[in-house]
Structure 1
Amino acid sequence: MDLLSGRKSNEIFEGQVHVYKHMYAYLDSMCLKWCIELEIPTIIYNHEKPITLHELISILQVPPSKISGVERLMRHLSHNRFFDIVTIHDDDGGDENKEKKEAYALTIASELLVKGTEYCLTPMAKCGLNPLMSSSFNLLGKWTLEKNLTLSEISLGTNLWDFLSKNPSILTSFNESMASDSQMVKLALKDHSAVFEGLESIVDVGGGNGTISKIISDMFPKLKCIVFDLPHVVENFSGTTSNNLSFVGGDMFNYICICKLQGKLLFLFQLNSNLWILHDWDEEHCVKILKKCKDAISNNTKGGKAIVIDLVINEKQDEFGLTQMKLRMDIAMTTLNGKERSEEEFKKLFLEAGF
């Protein structure tokens, strides 16, 4: 039986395009990796105006045999909205002889890849594009048939956290990537600062290098902040302790630190150098973490609350591209035993934990 016998030719070709688009989707990532490795967004930024192909290859010192390749890579990245192709006028000669040329200008996406800027996501992109991390997804088939192993345990031979603790250079890259991602939360805090009003203390659960806590402590100098994470995570940051920011080591599955803090408590689960917290874990572990916070709040005479900053899958309301990104993040969580959740799934966690 010919499965496609009832299909029109254009429908079959559309299906082929869809298959090929996803089959070659890894080339999008590799072109982005190329762009970041050569620091092209930073080069254009420092050029202070759109840059021509001739100017770009001159700065990169590209050999003549590869000029065509660079042009094709830039065309691909421009098509994917990392650069805008604009028309400029050559300043050489008089007004009548000015020559029109094509040049590459930054977009909002490539502006986020300029090194040294406040919201630079280059460390995040470098870590995500590290072959050690990305190649593990070649083993999804094997992962499917393994009863209890995570994808990282299959590909790395151990869980992700143990692997990072034993590979300092990769851990440093990982921490830098999560810290760069955390800077984006600053944008949200500007619009939702009211959530911190009336609070006197924060325990940043799984706070890693304290990027978000530092932002909050700068915004609210009277708010006492403790970054609570595994001892080997926080040990390198003890020197950054200030009057309203300190680091404490411990295990969030055993207890949540409330030492040194008084007043109404806030337990913050946020973007940090150990990834987002709750999406790292399955339902059982998430409930355990939340119960520890609930216990700590119950034992605090002035009470408190817990805030979770995380992705929420909402396919019915989000536009296609945003949902696609969230679903990809959900697949990324197969490296652990975590997942991205809908609002209803979060609600279920909170209720089971006693909130």
Structure 2
Amino acid sequence: MTPSDLVNALPINKSKGHDCIDRLMRIIIHAGFFTQGEEGYLLTPTSCLLLKNEPLSLAPFVQAQLDPILMNPWHSLGEWFANGDSTPFATAHGKPLFEYAGDDPRLNRLKSLVDVGGGIGTVAKAISNAFPQLKCSVFDLPHVVEGLEGGKNLSYIGGDMFKSVPSTDAILLKVKEFSTI
């Protein structure tokens, strides 16, 4: 896309277009999200992960992270260090995250969760017991989940996360730390 095409495609004041977009694009190019060729700006493998129609798109994750609900606590860090609130989220919003989520309809629509690489389902079992209205699935390699019994709101799915992940409202990925002897 040429710089002019980019300015015309964006919902911005065109008088601020070229100079401001050129500066912004230099930063984004430096960060590795685009490259600049003779014809204009080109996508990189990293920027492809932000495309809406990309199967492995991270766009919803980025949008969630940039939502004011999650950004405002960062702006409240100074105040939080000085007060007695439990978290910066509580300082920013007047209540803890899960209490806030229970009151905000935008955050209260979660109907399903898939624990990717969930093994025998220890975490998913705890979540499904705590939230019986939530449909929980453990997704792991077929030989890992073979023979495991689910429950009324817990199921086991065999597959390969590098090929596809079941459709869901939320994906849980945990990091396991390994120690060496």
Report if the CA contact (8 A) 1:202-1:225 is conserved: no
- Distance in 1, matches of 2:54 and 2:140, equals 19
Corresponding residue for residue 53 of structure 1: 3
Distance in structure 1 (CA, Å) of the matches to 2:171 and 2:102: 12
Q: Measure the CA separation in 1 of the matches of 2:90 and 2:151.
A: 28
Instruction: Indicate how the Cα distance of structure 1 residues 202 and 135 shifts in structure 2: closer, same or farther if over 3 A, else same.
Output: closer
Cα offset, 1:148, TM superposition: 5.7
Counterpart-to-counterpart distance in 1, 2:176 and 2:58: 18
1:105-254 equivalences under 5 Å are: 105-147=42-84, 149-172=86-109, 202-203=121-122, 204=124, 205-206=126-127, 210=136, 213=138, 215-216=139-140, 222-224=146-148, 226=150, 244=156
Cα displacement (A) at 1:136: 1.5
Q: Tell me the amino acid that sits aligned with residue 58 of structure 1.
A: N
- Asked if the contact 1:137–1:151 (Cα under 8 Å) also holds between the matched residues in 2, the reply is yes
Inter-CA distance 143–311: structure 2 relative to 1 (3 Å threshold)? farther
Q: Structure 1 153/225 Cα, relative in aligned 2: closer, same or farther at 3 Å? A: farther
- CA pair 142-64 structure 1, distance change in 2 beyond 3 A: closer
| Contact residue 49 and residue 56 of structure 2 kept, 8 A | yes
Aligned 8 A contact 1:164 1:171 in 2? yes
- Contact 1:114/1:120 (<8 A) preserved: yes
SS in 2 for 1:84: strand
> TM-score scaled to structure 2, two decimals?
0.64
Alpha-carbon distance between aligned partners in 1 of 2:15 and 2:51, rounded to the nearest angstrom: 28
Q: In structure 1, what is the Cα distance between the partners aligned to 2:97 and 2:56? A: 26
Which has more radius of gyration? 1
Q: Which position in structure 1 is the counterpart of 2:14?
A: 64
In structure 2, the residue matched to 1:75 is 26
| Aligned counterpart, 1:85 | 36
Contact 1:202–1:226, Cα closer than 8 Å, also in 2 = no
- In the aligned structure 2, how far is the partner of 1:157 from the partner of 1:72? 38
1:144, distance to aligned residue in structure 2 (A): 2.2
Contact 1:139 1:155 in 2 (8 A): yes
Paired letter, 1:73: L
Offset, 1:82: 1.2
User: Hey, what's the Cα distance between the residues in 1 that align with 2:147 and 2:88?
Assistant: 39
Would you say the 8 A contact 2:85–2:91 is kept in 1?
no
Deviation at 1:67, TM superposition (A): 2.0
Per-residue deviation, 1:75: 2.1
Quick one: distance in 1 between partners of 2:71 and 2:176? 21
Q: Distance in 2 between matches of 1:130 and 1:227?
A: 34
SS at match of 2:36: strand
Structure 1: segments with no counterpart, 5+ residues:
1-50, 89-102, 190-194, 229-237, 246-271, 277-308, 313-342, 345-355
For residues 59 and 25 of structure 2, the distance between their equivalents in structure 1, rounded to whole angstroms, comes to 18
For 2:44 and 2:66, locate their aligned partners in 1 and report how far apart those are by CA, in whole Å.
21
What is the distance in 2 between the residues matched to 1:63 and 1:141? 34
Gaps spanning 5+ residues in structure 2: where? Answer: 129-133, 158-168
Distance (whole Å) between structure 1 residues aligned to residue 17 and residue 6 of structure 2: 10
CA contact (8 A) 1:202 1:223 kept: no
C-alpha change, 1:79 and 1:209, in structure 2 (3 Å) is farther
**Quick one: distance in 1 between partners of 2:24 and 2:73?**
26
**Partners of 2:38 and 2:102 in 1: CA distance:** 50
2:55 alignment partner, SS class: coil
